Amino acid sequence: MAYRFLLLAILLFSPVLCIADELPELDLWPAGHVPGQSGAVKEEIVEVIDAKIGRKTTKVTKPKITVYKPDAKIDTKAAVVICPGGGYHILAYDLEGVEVAKWLNSIGVTGVVVHYRVPRSKEADHRVGPMQDAQRAIRLTRQNAEKWNLDPNRIGLMGFSAGGHLTAATGTGHEKKTYSAIDDADKLSARPDFLMMIYPAYLNREGSDTELDDFVMVDKNTPPTFLIHAGNDGVSATNSLAFYLAMKRLALPAELHIFPDGGHGYGLRPTEKAVTGWPKLAERWLQTMKIIGNE
C-alpha cells in the first residue's frame, strides 16, 4: 500500500508530470481484428504495482494507445510514439511510458504511449505482434494528426530496452506488411520520421558486436536516429553501437552517446550517473534536427 501512495505522490507532484492533458485511450484494433488472435480472449490489460518501476503491465491482449498532450502554449505539434521496455515479457509502463510522455510534454511534444502485446507469444515469433501494434500506433497517430493538433510529418518512435528493439525493428521495417489492412488508417505510412532508442536490446547479430541482427536491417530509408547507452549496461552498449555503425555506413544522420556507467533501466529518473542527464541531450538533438523549436 505504501508503494501506491508513493507512486500517486510522484504522479501528482512531480513538476514534469503535472503539465500534460491525458486524452481518452484508443484501442489499436477494432474488436475482433487483433492480428493473430482467434477465439474468445478473457483478459485485456493486467497491471500490478512494482516498487521500482510503478505500474507493470504483465499481460496485454487488447493493445491500445494513450495520448498525452502538452500545454497548448508550448505545443510544437511534434509527437513521439513510446514503446516501454520489459523484455517482451512485461511493460515498464510508468518508468518507460507515462513518465516519458510527461517529459516530452514539458518540451512541447505530444507523447503517445503504446500498450503493445505481452508476454511473448508461445505460438509465433514474439517480435511480430508488438511490431504490428507499433506500426498501427504510428498510423493511427498520423490519421488523428489534425484532431490532436499534430504535424503528420513530425511523428517519431521511441523505445527503451526491448522497446528499443521494437523501435529499431519498426523504424527499419516500416514497409513490411505485417498484417492485412483493415481500414483507412492502414493506407497511411508506418514510417516514423525519427527514432530515439534508450539502452536498446537484442540488436546485435549473434557473435558480432558491430553487426545488426537480420530482423533489424538499416537501409537508405531508415529515419534519423538518437541512441543512449551506458558502458556497463548488462544489455551491452554494442547494441546501440551496431545500429549507429549501420547508419554511418550509409551516411544517414545518427547520434550516439555511450557513458562509462549507469547500468540499465533508469528511464528518466536522475541518479549520480551522468547517463541520466540524457533528456537534455535528446532535447538538443530534437532541436538540431528541427523537429522542435522551429515554429
pLDDT of residue 11: 41
Statement: the pTM of the whole predicted model exceeds 0.85: yes
What whole-number distance in Å separates Cα of residue 280 and Cα of residue 295? 20
pLDDT of residue 57: 96
For 251, the grid coordinates are 551516411
What whole-number distance in Å separates Cα of residue 85 and Cα of residue 99? 13
What whole-number distance in Å separates Cα of residue 75 and Cα of residue 140? 20
pLDDT of residue 15: 35
Q: In what order do the strands lie in the sheet with 54-60?
A: 45-50, 54-60, 91-92
Phi and psi torsions of 37, nearest 5°: -95, 135
What whole-number distance in Å separates Cα of residue 65 and Cα of residue 123? 25
What whole-number distance in Å separates Cα of residue 202 and Cα of residue 212? 9
Closest CA to 54 of 117, 98, 115, 105: 98
pLDDT of residue 39: 66
DSSP code of residue 207: T
Query: What domains can be seen in the chain, in order of their start residue?
Result: 2-288 (3.40.50.1820)
CB atoms under 10 Å from CB of 102, counted, come to 23
Counting every residue written for the chain, the total comes to 295
What whole-number distance in Å separates Cα of residue 95 and Cα of residue 257? 21
Would you write out the chain's pLDDT as a tens digit for each of its 295 residues? 343 334 433 443 343 333 345 566 999 999 889 998 876 677 889 999 998 899 999 999 999 999 999 999 999 999 999 999 999 999 999 999 999 999 999 999 999 999 999 999 887 789 999 999 999 999 999 999 999 999 999 999 999 999 999 999 999 999 999 999 999 999 999 999 999 999 999 999 999 999 999 999 999 999 999 999 999 999 999 999 999 999 999 999 999 999 999 999 999 999 999 999 999 999 999 999 999 985 5
For 192, the grid coordinates are 516514423
Burial 259-281 (b: 16+ CB within 10 A, else e): beebeebbbbeeeeeebbebbee
What whole-number distance in Å separates Cα of residue 137 and Cα of residue 171? 13
pLDDT of residue 43: 86
